[in-house]
Structure 1
């Protein structure tokens, strides 16, 4: 089945006249008739009754008409999209984010890119680091931001963006909320709320609980769910410092050796960058991330110093 055959059939179906249909398609009537006949051969049945004064769709023609209309519309949409892409009117950019990487980190770079690429169209996808590496290699995403990742393939370019610490996120009414820092003994005695498939929990367990697991409580695949549970007093969250949080929560640093991780940018090595991807990589790598982390730290410190809390017993 060829698209011009579909187009010829749709023209006849709308005009019910081969002469006018041929004029509409800008072809001769014999060429249009031949195209419709080939379509009928491929579909295995007559689509149009051909009579001297009357042209009508057959039952088969009526049955396939909506599907062929959708086919033609989809083909036209593909053509327009390709033309827009070639004219740089559409610039797709697919970014993968690990579960512990907040979308807030890419908003400013995206806004900066959008100023010079008006057709920017961003798609964000979430997945564990190893899954994002596979999506990069398969071409399903253009770049990824991850935390700790092991055994990055040689085909993947890997740039370190910044280092950040982990903090404890909890309700201001929690019994630990007035501590200047939280120790490992404190963590052993409280309930940890865990983000599913997040790299934070394994990192904390390796550093703080090498022999015995922590007291894990509820879990969820979404940060917001955990934050609402923490606000309700069900436990505390161990999270990267940059993670946006509910205004009803506060953060406290971990005591002792600083537990941190690097946030990294990944892209496929040697693959030709689109203008949107090239801009994203450059803006992200040149960005002063220390300002972002420092701003977050200052805000957290201000929050700790100004909030009044009523600890639970």
Structure 2
């Protein structure tokens, strides 16, 4: 039983005229008769009785009529909803992002996306980098914003921008007023994220490349806790510059380092196949995030520590 056959039956059943049904469906009489015959063969019996002057429904045809109306209404509703999804007039989308990205760069990108596609509902999961990766792998979200992963498997990573680490200091630290090197910073009590944090590994790898070793006094699972501990004078830290707004909100100060920078790439993690809505969001992110990051970094300049 096909949609075409049901539409043919419904047109004849409602008009009780093959001629009017042909006009309504823009079909020839042989094509309409073939569709009705195919439906009757599929169901196993007569649905219509046709004479030279009249068309009437059999009892089975009478019982099929309300069902055909319901089935076709459901089908047309499904068609319309899918059409709206493909044209971005309807849809839902879930993304996951590191808190430092979710609270700084993501809102402006989502504002651009909302302006272009106001009918798409977006759910944001702000979770640590490792959880973002797991949510993408498990298909709980379509897009994740993460630091460049070490192993991706079947996933795809699209770089957005390259970030660099900055020092995080207590408000009254004497290091605020000196030219700061990695050696100066590491001489203090260091507060970092716990392993297996990608930020922690990037920092350790970058320092090892400069023949320096990270000795940790305090460690935490959340960047917000690291920032709060620094703000209260328990030590110092180093985080990607993307985290500066979060550190400032917690009361810490961020200072540029004069040594060789430790860099980290930030980008989009996803499976290769994406919904139309996710493809649209990926385009907005790739078009807006890098210029936004560059503009903010240049605006901070050398004096971002006090902002």
Judging changes above 3 Å, is the alpha-carbon distance between structure 1 residues 222 and 288 closer, same or farther for their aligned structure 2 residues?
A: closer
**Matched-pair contact (CA < 8 Å) for 2:189–2:234:** yes
- SS of residue paired to 1:176: helix
Deviation at residue 254 of structure 1 after TM alignment: 2.4
Deviation at residue 280 of structure 1 after TM alignment: 0.8
Question: Equivalent residues in 2 for 1:199-214 (5 A)?
Answer: 199-209=198-208, 213-214=213-214
**Matched-pair contact (CA < 8 Å) for 1:188–1:215:** yes
- SS of residue paired to 1:150: coil
* Residue equivalent to 2:276: 274
Deviation at residue 229 of structure 1 after TM alignment: 1.7
- SS of residue paired to 1:162: strand
Deviations 1:146-202 (A, max 9, x none): 11311222x32221111111001112311211123x223213311121123532222
Question: Equivalent residues in 2 for 1:72-87 (5 A)?
Answer: none
* Residue equivalent to 1:299: 300
- SS of residue paired to 1:160: strand
- In the alignment, the residues of structure 2 paired with residue 129 and residue 242 of structure 1 have an alpha-carbon distance, to the nearest angstrom, of 13
Please, what is the CA RMSD of the aligned residues? 3.0
**Matched-pair contact (CA < 8 Å) for 2:98–2:127:** yes
Judging changes above 3 Å, is the alpha-carbon distance between structure 1 residues 90 and 291 closer, same or farther for their aligned structure 2 residues?
A: closer
- SS of residue paired to 1:177: helix
- In the alignment, the residues of structure 2 paired with residue 188 and residue 303 of structure 1 have an alpha-carbon distance, to the nearest angstrom, of 21
Deviation at residue 260 of structure 1 after TM alignment: 0.6
Question: Equivalent residues in 2 for 1:199-238 (5 A)?
Answer: 199-209=198-208, 213-238=213-238
- In the alignment, the residues of structure 2 paired with residue 284 and residue 227 of structure 1 have an alpha-carbon distance, to the nearest angstrom, of 27
Deviation at residue 300 of structure 1 after TM alignment: 5.6
- In the alignment, the residues of structure 1 paired with residue 289 and residue 134 of structure 2 have an alpha-carbon distance, to the nearest angstrom, of 29
- The gaps in structure 2 that reach 5 residues or longer are 1-77
- In the alignment, the residues of structure 1 paired with residue 90 and residue 238 of structure 2 have an alpha-carbon distance, to the nearest angstrom, of 39
- SS of residue paired to 2:227: helix
Judging changes above 3 Å, is the alpha-carbon distance between structure 1 residues 130 and 171 closer, same or farther for their aligned structure 2 residues?
A: closer
* Residue equivalent to 2:248: 246
Deviations 1:243-281 (A, max 9, x none): 123254321122321111111112211x24232x12210
- SS of residue paired to 2:105: helix
Judging changes above 3 Å, is the alpha-carbon distance between structure 1 residues 249 and 190 closer, same or farther for their aligned structure 2 residues?
A: same
Judging changes above 3 Å, is the alpha-carbon distance between structure 1 residues 297 and 176 closer, same or farther for their aligned structure 2 residues?
A: farther
- In the alignment, the residues of structure 1 paired with residue 226 and residue 201 of structure 2 have an alpha-carbon distance, to the nearest angstrom, of 17
* Residue equivalent to 2:143: 143
Alignment partner of 1:188 is 2:182: no
- The gaps in structure 1 that reach 5 residues or longer are 1-81, 308-313
Judging changes above 3 Å, is the alpha-carbon distance between structure 1 residues 290 and 111 closer, same or farther for their aligned structure 2 residues?
A: closer
- In the alignment, the residues of structure 2 paired with residue 253 and residue 300 of structure 1 have an alpha-carbon distance, to the nearest angstrom, of 9
**Matched-pair contact (CA < 8 Å) for 1:230–1:236:** yes
Task: Provide TM-score, normalisation by structure 2.
Answer: 0.62
Count of paired positions = 221
**Matched-pair contact (CA < 8 Å) for 2:181–2:257:** yes
- In the alignment, the residues of structure 2 paired with residue 302 and residue 217 of structure 1 have an alpha-carbon distance, to the nearest angstrom, of 28
Judging changes above 3 Å, is the alpha-carbon distance between structure 1 residues 99 and 109 closer, same or farther for their aligned structure 2 residues?
A: closer
- SS of residue paired to 1:287: helix
Q: Give the number of the structure whose residues are more often helix, by fraction.
A: 2
Judging changes above 3 Å, is the alpha-carbon distance between structure 1 residues 288 and 102 closer, same or farther for their aligned structure 2 residues?
A: closer
Task: Provide TM-score, normalisation by structure 1.
Answer: 0.61
